[in-house]
Structure 1
Amino acid sequence: MTETNTRWDIFCTVVDNFGDIGVTWRLARQLVAEHSLTVRLWVDDLRAFERICPAIDIDAAQQYQQGVEVRHWPVEWVHTDAADVVIAAFACNLPNDYMDAMAARERPPLWMNLDYLSAEDWVVGCHGLPSVKYKSVQKIFFFPGFQPGTGGLLRERGLLEQRRRFQQDAAAQRQFLQGLGIERAPDAQLISLFAYENAGLDSWLDVLAAADTPTHLLVPEGRILGDVARWLEVETLTVGAIHQRQSLTVQVLPFVRQDQYDHLLWCCDFNAVRGEDSFVRAQWAGRPMLWHIYQQDEDIHQDKLDAFLALYTKGLSPAAAEAMNGLWRAWSAGQPIGEHWLAACKHWPELQENAQAWCLEQGLQADLATALVQFYLNWI
């Protein structure tokens, strides 16, 4: 049996709006496009899916999008045969009937829990280990990660070269931005802001507004809009709104397709992102960034944040590393970040070089889709 005649099922429950579906949709497309696999993507919330893939029919129980069979994951499960490879994304629970179907196969499928991304040291030791067992079917831990010995990161074939060419083509960038209604002033720095609600935002906007260098802040639809509106002292912000205060121009963008979001990140000088999918895509942009990590009970997320910062800032000078650590930790804690932003700006060329070097370093590892396929080939 080869990789090209196997069937893969990916199950996704949408927990945090777009992160879960964002990762699984990218993965499903890549498995089809680059590995010629037959992939079904089971999703319980097609409305959230529609935001990143407008072609989705939210009323269809079954449809095909970009070579992927998309199935609505119904409350009342209808029996279906189990695939050769079954991926439970982010520890979601599979339907009981489907688990029985896995156990009924003559040859049990490879059942993997595609876990959340983390830079913590223990991930390397747990990657590929057995988890729970259901009858004859053993579940395996599969961890994305930043270090050898993990599953790597989602990265499509040729992505970094595509990004490099785009960032060297001023005309292509200008055309893309104009397609979103963005007119960038020649001397303005471009920043994207995609984040959860954050009490520390006001101090950052205050500093950007008072700066000598103009800033054009691009804010896609999302949870941070309420905080931006309060700072601007307006009741609501809708797509297309443009407000200016001193040196700061704020523009609200529509929620865009994944490939458009990639290009937006590539255009910007600095990207503030959230969750997991946009976090990884910002790293592939090769530009300085700020991550709003998803908050977890008992501040468990803090360990994940510290572990990533230890890797990401390893190549920086002590002063630059201290500035980045202060900025990221304050932002994730909802604390004022204005002074931390000014401290980071003192090391801007070094932060730019570090972002590029980190991107290239991560690009040397096998991508997540390839790692999954290779794991299956080794397993059989």
Structure 2
Amino acid sequence: MPAPTASHLARPLTWDVFCHVVDNLGDIGVSWRLCADLAARGQTVRLWIDAPDALHWMAPGALEGRIDGVRVLHWTEPLAPDLLTHLVPADVWLETFGCRPPPEAQAHRAGAIAAGGSAPVWINLEYLSAEAYVERSHRLPSLVSSGPMRGVGQWFFYPGFTQATGGLLREADLAARQTRFNAAAWLAAQGLVRTERPRASLFCYEPTSLPTMLQQAGQDHPSDWLVTTGRAAEAVGAAQAQGLDTGRIAVHHLPRLTQRDYDHLLWACDLNFVRGEDSLVRALWAGKPLVWHIYPQHDDAHHAKLEAFLDWLQAPDSLRAFHRIWNGITPAHSVWPGWNMVGSWRPCVLAARARLLAQPDLTSQLLEFVAEKR
């Protein structure tokens, strides 16, 4: 399906994208990629975000307004005086992950509607999952039940992995960028030398099996492990402080990476440990063996979510077993499967990527959906 552009609409639209940061910056990652992709397709986007500072390193220039088509608005409580009076009403409201637009914005828009203005196409962009409820719930309508916008319609929009879902974020130039990518040059820019040793990227929370895995991987043949800043680096540092013997592993701590450079990291590695939603999607596009550290929930609901993903991935038994160990579902003394086993995982990831590439991406589907509703 060709990606809808502004030509599919009567005119390019203005989008208000609302992002309330919960933790770990995954919500910012998804929201910014979506905003940038909408802008690249001719839309005008305002990103409302309550903790925008991470964009300084994640998307340089975003806060200064140097990204064409995207304006970042600091979502404060209360909103800055007179902010709303100087904004053109948006055609689309898109709330990410169940956050609600600021109450002042709702009251302001309700007043405009009462004066004869139109309501926005209001979309609730939900969390990513491969579970069956996603297909059942995708594109379902709902009415706002309380507040100044009570009675206004909104729709649930679920990203996902099948034709019956909203798809995944995928920029139009992604394949071309991957084709042009020079791993040796990128590694050199990070102060690393490209070798014939296998490379792994590590972006995770604090898996209890991490020290054991690194120690056992260090007994395998030599390899390079590229560790991302933040919780992954802290977890590795804590293990090293306890006397972890990494054997043949060379551990490299990376600086904070922009979103583009995080893509490059995934493309440059032979195995990618990822966490949350944004990095999982980017690892699927990379087409390399991947291990997902799913966000843990207190009621263990993430166990079913992980199994649903592994089912969709058509993961071989060894990859399923490693995911369960890595996510603390199954205890094990033997953790690291070996680089030979890791190499056997790539066909299933490539097949999964091919299935995804045959489906319309998330931004294309959002544009098409909004055109229908307008």
**TM-score scaled by structure 2?**
0.89
Aligned residues: 354
Alignment of 1:162-311 (within 5 A): 162-166=177-181, 172-186=182-196, 188-211=197-220, 213-233=221-241, 245-311=246-312
2:123 aligned with 1:112, yes or no?
A: yes
8 Å CA contact 1:199, 1:336 repeated in 2: no
- Partners of 1:162 and 1:356 lie apart in 2 by 18
Cα distance in 2 for partners of 1:119, 1:333 equals 20
Higher relative CO (CA 8 A, sep ≥ 6), structure 1 or 2?
2
1:98 aligned residue (97, 105, 111): 105
User: Partner of 1:191: helix, strand, or coil?
Assistant: strand
Given residue 112 of structure 1, which amino acid in structure 2 is its aligned partner? Answer: I
Residues 114 and 142 of structure 1 are in contact (CA less than 8 Å); yes or no, is this contact kept in structure 2?
yes
Deviates more, 1:90-99 or 1:225-234: 225-234
Deviations 1:46-97 (A, max 9, x none): 222223123355xx7xx45343111111112145254110000110121112
Contact 1:204 1:337 in 2 (8 A): no
1:126 aligns with 2:128: no
Cα gap change, 1:338/1:204 in structure 2, threshold over 3 Å: closer, same or farther?
A: farther
How far apart, in 2, do the equivalents of 1:44 and 1:358 lie? 35
2:352 maps to which residue? 358
Q: Residues 151 and 367 of structure 1 are in contact (CA less than 8 Å); yes or no, is this contact kept in structure 2?
A: yes
Confirm whether residue 19 of structure 1 aligns to residue 34 of structure 2.
no
Contact 2:225 2:250 (C-alpha < 8 Å) held by counterparts: yes
Structure 1 residues 4 and 200: CA distance shift in structure 2, 3 A = farther
Stretches of structure 2 that go unaligned for 5 or more consecutive residues are: 1-7
1:207-258 Cα shifts (integer Å, max 9, x gaps): 11111x21100001011222211322279xxxxxxx9942100010011111
User: Distance between the aligned counterparts of 1:340 and 1:228, measured in 2?
Assistant: 16
| Matches of 2:10 and 2:279, distance apart in 1 | 29
**Corresponding residue for residue 75 of structure 1:** 77
Instruction: Give the SS at the match of 1:111.
Output: strand
The residue type paired with residue 145 of structure 1 is G
Q: CA deviation at 1:336?
A: 5.7
Alpha-carbon distance in structure 1 between the residues aligned to 2:229 and 2:140: 39
Q: Which residue of 2 aligns with 1:372?
A: 366
Structure 1 counterpart of 2:60: 54
AA of the residue aligned to 2:166? G
1:65 aligns with 2:67: yes
1:340 CA drift (Å): 4.3
- Residue 239 of structure 1 is matched in structure 2 by none
Encode CA deviations 1:103-140: one digit per residue, 9 max, x unaligned.
33322111111011010111111011113423342121
User: Is this contact kept in 2: 1:220–1:255, CA < 8 A?
Assistant: yes
Aligned to 1:41: 47
Give the drift of 1:265.
Answer: 0.2
Indicate the larger mover: 64-73 or 15-24.
64-73
Contact 2:215 2:245 in 1 (8 A): no
Who is 2:3 aligned against?
none
Question: Could you say which residue in structure 2 is the equivalent of 1:169?
Answer: none
Structure 2 residue identity aligned to 1:175: A
* Alpha-carbon offset, residue 337 of structure 1: 6.2
Partner amino acid, structure 2, of 1:85: V
Distance 1:195-1:337 versus aligned 2 partners, 3 A rule = farther
Q: Deviation per CA, 1:270-319: give whole Å up to 9, x if none.
A: 00011111110001000000001111231111121111011102xx5xxx
Contact 1:3 1:37 in 2 (8 A): no
Q: CA RMSD in A?
A: 2.2
Matched position secondary structure for 2:225: strand
Give the corresponding residue for 2:160.
Answer: 145
Q: In structure 2, what residue type is equivalent to 1:48?
A: A
- Aligned to 1:298, the other structure's residue is in SS state coil
3-state SS in 2 of match to 1:210 = coil
Gaps of 5+ in 1: 167-171, 236-242
Give the letter for the 1:178 counterpart: A
How many Å apart are 1:349 and its aligned residue? 4.2
C-alpha distance in 1 between matches for 2:365 and 2:341: 36
In structure 1, distance between residues paired with 2:10 and 2:166: 18
- Counterpart CA distance in 1 for 2:34 and 2:175 is 17
Q: Measure, in 2, the Cα distance between the counterparts of 1:3 and 1:307.
A: 39
Q: Which residue matches 1:323? A: 318
1:185 Cα shift?
Answer: 2.5
- SS in structure 1 of the partner of residue 299 of structure 2: helix
Q: Tell me the residue number matched to 1:240.
A: none
Quote the offset at 1:338 in angstroms. 6.6
Distance 1:14 1:118 in 2: 19
AA at the equivalent of 2:236: V
Percent identical residues: 38
In 2, Cα distance between the equivalents of 1:189 and 1:157? 30
Matched, 1:2 2:9: yes
1: CA distance, partners of 2:235 / 2:218: 16
Query: What is the TM-score with the length of structure 1 in the denominator?
Result: 0.87
Bigger shift: residues 264-273 or 359-368 = 359-368
Distance (Å, rounded) in 2 between the aligned partners of 1:258 and 1:292: 19
| Paired amino acid for 2:67 | Q
Q: Counterparts of 1:297 and 1:307 in 2: how far apart (Å)?
A: 18
> Aligned residue for 1:238?
none
